[in-house]
């Protein structure tokens, strides 16, 4: 048995960042990971990073067809095809490289890595069951960061062959001739965008009344319009899959709702969200309160069990890697502070969490949607400005989408910024700075942006809030 100041269970972007921060503050720290593939968790191994490698390939594949328009001659693009085996190999190389980087950071910061399944035993004890057997370790503080797994639906269970989840599809080496995707959240629309550009026919099915339901309504409507027009997708909202017929070479989907019917597909992707991994980790041996799989925590990520914190996908906060990382820092600093270290933890302002969806066109958002602002009683004024007239958008060949600003009409305060278009996931950082600085519409109008850049849409959208956008 070994004793530590802190044990972190789970090495995703929340867990490994928490371990590093704790070690930097002088805590004897251990990191537990059950995945034999290595450190990094869902984000690195089966989520954010590998999915973005697929998206980058699809983006480049699409733009290869426009080479002649850019003045690049002598390339026969008629024979271009997607080599999925090469895509998977490149994805694996990037994952391996980043995993080695995390291992290096653990050694550099003197974090002891414990390989095996971590289980809470109560009283500050953690059992780690690995290939060599089980060991019990003690810790003054524990951070639970066990992440999530793809959610399954009764009757629509995945098999990894024809009916896939977001883990399976990352390693597919056969291009689907027709891919039906159930769920149009971030995962669903990203894979829809990927495979439509690589050459698959795509049918996108969403139970709610818009794509990307957490986003502003106008964003969801614009994405559906672009998917339908530019990528010839069959987009079906207010619709659900009730039954699947599985055959050796196809899957027949039975749909109910606004666009009911049957659809034959080569593959089906179930992308209806993720479920927290809290079963079997020993929470019943603690005083922690669990609600539908989520651990209840306070502003400093503390559970009802003394010394036990929970972060990332196992708590009811936005399921985003950057949120988990920030929560890891808060939990580690609070644990260190309680153990007498010079740390100054701060609660996270979840109203300022930037959201990013990496489909094409990209989506970036922060703050209140128009609908939410009205629900909260604001005197709402909105303004939108398209990328179409912006010089830089035309230069990069992506003059689609828009920026939308949601503001308070009485005080001029910017309440939310929502972007769909080129580099939206990068532009959202500028949006975050505007909201963090509590900038008003008038102040944004008076801010100078360099030309030509995509950032020039910000003051134009602010002018549109006041009904006086420039006619560029």
Tell me the longest C-alpha to C-alpha distance in the chain.
71
Q: How is 414-452 classified by DSSP, letter by letter?
A: EEEEEEEETTHHHHHHHHHHHHHTT-BHHHHHT----SS
Q: What is the pLDDT of residue 438?
A: 87
Residue 154 included in any domain: no
pLDDT at 471: 54
Residue 286 resides in a domain: yes
In a domain, 211, yes or no: yes
pTM, entire model: 0.95
Find how far residue 101's CA is from the centre of its chain. Answer: 21
Supply the pLDDT for residue 470.
66
Q: How high is the pLDDT of residue 437? A: 84
Task: Give residue 131's pLDDT.
Answer: 86
Cβ neighbours around 337 below 10 Å, total: 15
Residue 156 lies in a domain: no
- Domain finish residue from 298, 323, 338: 338
pLDDT of residue 294: 98
Query: Which of 228, 255, 272 corresponds to the end of one domain?
Result: 272
Same domain, residue pair 13 and 110: yes
Contact 41, 328 (CB under 8 A): no
Please state the domain count of the chain.
3
3-state per-residue secondary structure call for 69-125: HHCCCCCCHHHCCCCHHHHHHHHHHHHHHHHHHHHHHHHHCCCEEEECEEEEEECCE
* Residue 354 covered by a domain: no
Contacts of residue 262, defined as CB under 8 A and 6 or more positions apart, other chains included, come to: 252, 253, 254, 255
Kindly state whether residues 308 and 454 are assigned to the same domain: no
DSSP class of 296: P
DSSP 151-182: PP-TT----SSSEE-TTGGGG--S--SEEEEE
Same structural domain, 304 and 263: no
pLDDT tens digit sequence for 199-214:
999 999 999 999 999 9
418 is catalytic: no
Q: Do residue 193 and residue 125 come from a single domain? A: no
Q: Is residue 365 a part of any domain in this protein?
A: yes
174 and 255 in a common domain: yes
| Residue ending a domain, choose from 272, 291, 308 | 272
> Residues 137, 244: one domain?
no
User: Does 213 fall in a domain?
Assistant: yes
224 and 280 part of one domain: no
Sign of CA dihedral 52, 57, 61, 66: positive
Q: Which helix (H) or strand (E) holds 236?
A: strand 234-237
Whichever domain contains 449, its CATH number is 3.30.390.30
One domain, residues 20 and 125 = yes
Contact 457, 374 (CB under 8 A): no
171 with 51: CB under 8 angstroms?
A: no
> How much is the pLDDT for 273?
94
Q: What is the pLDDT along the chain (472 residues), one digit of tens a residue?
A: 799 999 999 999 999 999 999 999 999 999 999 999 999 999 999 999 999 999 999 999 999 999 999 999 988 888 899 999 999 999 999 999 999 999 999 999 999 999 999 999 999 999 999 988 999 999 999 999 999 999 999 999 999 999 999 999 999 999 999 999 999 999 999 999 999 999 999 999 999 999 999 999 999 999 999 999 999 999 999 999 999 999 999 999 999 999 999 999 999 999 999 999 999 999 999 999 999 999 999 999 999 999 999 999 999 999 999 999 999 999 999 999 999 999 999 999 999 999 999 999 999 999 999 999 999 999 999 999 999 999 999 999 999 999 999 999 999 999 999 999 999 999 999 998 889 888 999 999 999 999 999 999 999 999 999 987 665 5
Helix (H) or strand (E) holding 356: strand 355-357
Helices (H), 140-285: 186-198, 217-231
Catalytic residue among 65, 247, 346, 451: 451
pLDDT of residue 251: 98
Residue range of the domain that includes 82: 3-149+276-338
Is the domain of 231 the same as that of 84? no
Closest CA relative to residue 271, chosen from 160, 384, 188: 188
Q: Kindly state whether residues 255 and 172 are assigned to the same domain.
A: yes
Instruction: Decide: 404 and 218 in contact? Cβ < 8 Å.
Output: yes
Establish if 26 belongs to a structural domain: yes
- In a shared domain, residues 80 and 209: no
CATH number for the domain spanning 265: value is 3.50.50.60
Residue 454 is given by DSSP the state: G
Whether residue 309 is found in the same domain as residue 403: no
């Amino acid at each position: 048995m070994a004793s530590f100041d802190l044990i972190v269970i789970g090495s995703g972007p929340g867990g490994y960042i928490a371990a590093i921060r704790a070690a930097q503050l002088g805590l004897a720290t251990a990191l537990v990971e059950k995945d034999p593939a290595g450190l990094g968790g869902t984000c690195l191994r089966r989520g954010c990073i590998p999915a973005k490698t697929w998206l980058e390939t699809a983006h480049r594949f699409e733009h290869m067809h426009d080479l002649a328009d850019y003045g690049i001659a002598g390339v026969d693009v008629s024979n271009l095809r997607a080599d999925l085996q090469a895509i998977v190999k490149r994805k694996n190389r990037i994952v391996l490289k980043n995993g080695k980087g995390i291992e290096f950071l653990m050694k550099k910061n003197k974090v002891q890595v414990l390989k095996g399944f971590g289980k809470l035993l109560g009283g500050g004890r953690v059992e780690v069951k690995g290939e060599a057997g089980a060991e019990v370790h003690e810790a003054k503080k524990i951070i639970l960061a066990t992440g999530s797994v793809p959610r399954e639906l009764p009757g629509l269970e995945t098999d990894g062959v024809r009916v896939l989840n977001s883990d399976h599809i990352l390693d597919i080496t056969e291009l689907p001739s027709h891919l039906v995707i159930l769920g149009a959240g971030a995962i669903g629309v990203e894979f829809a965008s990927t495979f439509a550009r690589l050459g698959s026919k795509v049918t996108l099915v969403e139970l709610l009344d818009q794509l990307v339901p957490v986003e502003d309504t106008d964003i969801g409507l614009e994405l559906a319009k672009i998917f339908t027009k530019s990528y010839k997708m069959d987009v079906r909202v207010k619709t659900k899959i009730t039954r699947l017929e599985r055959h050796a070479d196809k899957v027949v989907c039975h749909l109910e709702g606004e666009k009911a019917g049957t659809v034959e597909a080569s593959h089906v992707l179930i992308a209806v969200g993720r479920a927290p991994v809290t079963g079997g980790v020993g929470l019943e041996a603690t005083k922690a309160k669990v609600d539908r799989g989520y651990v209840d925590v306070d502003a400093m990520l503390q559970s009802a069990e003394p010394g036990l914190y929970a972060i990332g996908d196992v708590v009811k906060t936005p399921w985003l890697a950057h949120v988990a990382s920030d929560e890891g820092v808060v939990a580690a600093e609070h644990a260190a502070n309680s153990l007498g270290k010079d740390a100054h933890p701060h609660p996270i302002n979840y109203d300022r969490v930037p959201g990013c969806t990496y489909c094409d066109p990209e989506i970036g958002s922060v703050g209140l949607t128009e609908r939410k602002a009205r629900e909260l009683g604001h005197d709402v004024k909105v303004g939108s400005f398209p990328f179409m007239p912006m010089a830089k958008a035309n230069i990069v060949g992506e003059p689609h989408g828009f920026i939308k600003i949601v503001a308070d009409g009485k005080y001029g305060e910017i309440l939310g910024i929502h972007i769909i278009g080129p580099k939206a996931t990068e532009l959202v950082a500028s949006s975050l700075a505007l909201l963090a600085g509590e900038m008003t519409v008038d102040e944004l109008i008076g801010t100078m942006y360099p030309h030509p850049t995509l950032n020039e849409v910000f003051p134009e959208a602010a002018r549109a809030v006041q009904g006086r956008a420039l006619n560029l």
